Amino acid sequence: MSQHAKPRSKGRRFFFWAALAGLISGAVFLAAAELFALIFARSASPILAIGGFVIDIVPQPFKEFAIATFGEYDKIALLAGLGLAVVIASAIGGILQFVRPPLGVVALVIAGALSTAAIVTRAGVTPLAFLPPVLGTIAGSIIIVLLVRRLRAWRTSVAPVGVDRVDDGDADADADAPAIAKPIGRRQFFLLAGIAGASAVIVGVASRAVSMTVASVANIREALKLPSPGTKVTVPQGAELDIPGLSTLFTPNKDFYRVDTALTVPTIDPSTWRLVIDGMVDQRVEMSFQDILDMGVDEYAITLTCVSNEVGGELVGNAMWLGVPLRDVLKKAGVKSGADMVLSKSVDGYTASTPLSALTDDNLDAILAVGMNGEPLPLEHGFPVRMVVPGLYGYVSATKWLTELKVTTFEKDEAYWTPRGYSAEAPIKFSSRIDTPKLGSAVDAGKIPIAGVAWAQSVGIERVEVKIDEGDWTPATLSTPINEDTWVQWFLEWDATPGTHYVAVRAINKNGDLQIEERAAIAPNGSSGWQRSLVRVN
């Protein structure tokens, strides 16, 4: 038994090198696919296509969990998870090829087939989009075969006579191995592994960087000068309360929430961007970015809310937008009678269903936005053009990286989130939030402000009331609202006594409606309930 222990230990180390061969082959597959995607179809990246597929098929509860857990970093978490899965699968493929050829190649072909299927089923796919994963699969297969052949020859050359060897199902290869052990042994394995691995890293990183062209589009955005607004928003005195811990009146772009289905941020050159308006219209219209600007832009102060925002959550923000009314854009095409919905489409294939009435009502400022808080839209917030519609949750109204407006009906067309458990129409449930004191934080006894924000788009907030423990509801002081489409700030001075206290808040809108008290889940049309926070007073 002891005579075989050391050789078997040495034999097992080859599984490590086999796993490394698999990892390198997987890297070559991805790198080659990225390179050929640069040539044939820039959207045909296997890892991004599979990531998009995962986003599409993940059940709604898991999506909500990802958003609640990772927030705006949910795409990074998904990519990290996919990367780990690729590493594990590639390593297993290398071992399979070493032990039972050609199982490693078969595994790689299956991965390539899945990638191809994910790519060719994406929206806006081009005819040659299947080529990158196919050619990547061929490149990866060649490398794994060559690496494992050298590894097997190395193993055979160092295996003592009479020692049991791993039964790899390839007797012919083993029979030939001693004759080629010297010319293709350990040195040749590491030489090929080093060249293939380094090439994969260089080619893959360079191809993805060129494909994304983030730097060039970022530079274009940085140099872009938007025209001055014809009509500016007047911010009244008293619109912002100077209270530490309270959300600012306008949410800085860097802090504005981001929730979307794009695995990577689309990078679009405004000079090549086009918006198509078709469907139930008198004439099909195609507009350039300059056409939008030539219509004359105005300022609009509007609060946006994500349907995934929980009670007391942070997926809500207020911004000063620069844009043009959507009703004027739709007039260029002429809307036919019978239409009741506009299906907006993003460059990444995402769609949203917006009631036509919300886009054509003269009393609602539904816009195509090109600017946000005094600068062009940030890349992650829809550059160069996005939709902003007050009074509706973002998933049915706030399409980013907009490329198409299809005038249609709810009966005929369905948007991205509707078959995934969400309502086709989603008016925002007005709500209120406590910003300070923070949940679970400790404050000193004495007079302290309880403060937060409240919103009721298209209607406006009439008053906010606060309740301490089991006391009465007390009216809070409101900031001066900019308009009915933005949130208002509120505060109540509280003489805090030592101990543990519960602070609750509720809002009443200008129609006299009381904020819904009963708790409701996010799906199908937004959460509801009064926020009640625990505060510790020292």
Residue pLDDT, tens place only, 112-163? 888 888 877 766 566 787 888 899 899 999 999 999 998 888 888 776 554 4
**What is the mean predicted confidence (pLDDT) over 25-39?**
85
Low-confidence winner among 80-94, 240-254, 420-434, 436-450 (lowest mean pLDDT): 80-94
Q: What percent of the chain has pLDDT over 90?
A: 61
Residue 127's pLDDT is 76
Cα–Cα separations (whole angstroms), residue 187 to 23, 200, 216, 274: 19, 20, 43, 55
Residues 125 and 15 in one domain: yes
Residue 72's pLDDT is 64
Residue 174's pLDDT is 44
Residue 120's pLDDT is 78
pLDDT at 322 over 70: yes
242 or 204, which is more confident?
A: 242
Residues 164 and 100 in one domain: yes
Is the residue at 270 inside a domain?
yes
Residue 270's pLDDT is 94
Is the residue at 248 inside a domain?
no
488 or 115, which is more confident?
A: 488
Residues 61 and 203 in one domain: yes
* 220: three-class secondary structure by DSSP: helix
Residues 443 and 330 in one domain: no
Residues 401 and 440 in one domain: no
Distance, in Å, from the CA atom of 387 to the CA atom of 321, rounded to the nearest integer, reads: 10
Cα–Cα separations (whole angstroms), residue 288 to 2, 380, 402: 78, 20, 12
Is the residue at 517 inside a domain?
yes
pLDDT at 479 over 60: yes
**What is the mean predicted confidence (pLDDT) over 480-501?**
96
| Average pLDDT of the residues of the chain | 87
Amino acid at 64: E
372 neighbors 380 (Cβ within 8 angstroms): no
Residues 374 and 443 in one domain: no
Residues 393 and 487 in one domain: no
369 or 32, which is more confident?
A: 369
Amino acid at 181: A
Instruction: For residue 536, give every residue at least 6 positions away whose Cβ sits within 8 Å of its Cβ, in sequence order, or none.
Output: 440, 441, 442, 443, 499, 500, 501
Query: Residue 129 is part of which domain span?
Result: 2-212
pLDDT at 37 over 90: no
Write the CATH number for 316. 3.90.420.10
Residues 414 and 435 in one domain: no
- Quick: pLDDT tens for 157-167: 776 554 444 44
Peptide bond into 355 cis (omega under 30): no
Is the residue at 223 inside a domain?
no
Is the residue at 266 inside a domain?
yes
pLDDT at 244 over 90: yes
Distance, in Å, from the CA atom of 148 to the CA atom of 98, rounded to the nearest integer, reads: 6
Is the residue at 226 inside a domain?
no
Residue 262's pLDDT is 81
Distance, in Å, from the CA atom of 343 to the CA atom of 273, rounded to the nearest integer, reads: 18
* 325: three-class secondary structure by DSSP: strand
pLDDT at 212 over 80: no
Residue 370's pLDDT is 98
**What is the mean predicted confidence (pLDDT) over 298-324?**
96
- Quick: pLDDT tens for 344-388: 999 988 999 999 999 999 999 999 999 999 999 999 999 999 999
* pLDDT interval class at 4 (50, 70, 90): very low
Residues 348 and 476 in one domain: no
4 or 261, which is more confident?
A: 261
Per the document, the length of the chain is: 538
Total tally of structural domains belonging to the chain: 3
Low-confidence winner among 62-66, 193-197, 227-231, 478-482 (lowest mean pLDDT): 62-66
pLDDT at 486 over 50: yes
* pLDDT interval class at 11 (50, 70, 90): low
* pLDDT interval class at 46 (50, 70, 90): confident
**What is the mean predicted confidence (pLDDT) over 82-109?**
89
pLDDT at 12 over 90: no
Residues 436 and 413 in one domain: no
pLDDT at 60 over 90: no
Is the residue at 337 inside a domain?
yes
* 450: three-class secondary structure by DSSP: strand
pLDDT at 187 over 50: yes
**What is the mean predicted confidence (pLDDT) over 423-449?**
92
Residue 273's pLDDT is 96
107 neighbors 96 (Cβ within 8 angstroms): yes
Residues 409 and 465 in one domain: no
pLDDT at 237 over 90: yes
